[in-house]
Amino acid sequence: MRARQLEYEALLVKRSDMEQTMRLHLHMMEELQWKKDEELMQMMAEQQRKKDEEHRKMMEEQQRTLVEQQERRMQLMAEQMREQLVEQIRQLQSRSTPKRKFG
């Protein structure tokens, strides 16, 4: 009877050891998963940062392009206005210049 009691106690200790081992294993797996999740979050954050940076650069380039286009339009309009003014001055000068009569 004493042998069975000792055998039973040994089984309880073995079971307790196995449960402890399983808890440790579960804890290690949870830590590993947490680390993987953390790495994934960091990777996703880095990807988002790169995406945001690319978008910012694209928006800056679009803004620069729009400004350049507007500057070219303004220069063209100024040139056209100068040409119109020169033409109007010529017309006014030709009207006000006394015509010489030859004879």
Average pLDDT, whole number, for the chain? 93
pLDDT tens digits along 5-17? 988 888 889 999 9
In a domain, 27, yes or no: yes
Written as six digits, the tokens of 24 are 């440790």
- Tell whether the model's pLDDT for residue 103 goes beyond 90: no
Domains contained in the chain, number: 1
Q: Which domain holds residue 61?
A: 1-68
Written as six digits, the tokens of 10 are 């040994």
In a domain, 47, yes or no: yes
pLDDT tens digits along 53-97? 999 999 999 999 999 999 999 999 999 999 999 999 999 998 876
- Tell whether the model's pLDDT for residue 99 goes beyond 90: no
In a domain, 23, yes or no: yes
Which amino acid, 64? R
- Across the range 45-58, mean pLDDT stands at 98
Q: Is this model's pTM higher than 0.85 or not? A: no
In a domain, 93, yes or no: no
Which amino acid, 61? E
Q: For residue 29, what pLDDT is reported?
A: 98
Q: For residue 1, what pLDDT is reported?
A: 84
In a domain, 88, yes or no: no
In a domain, 86, yes or no: no
Written as six digits, the tokens of 82 are 């100068």
In a domain, 80, yes or no: no
In a domain, 96, yes or no: no
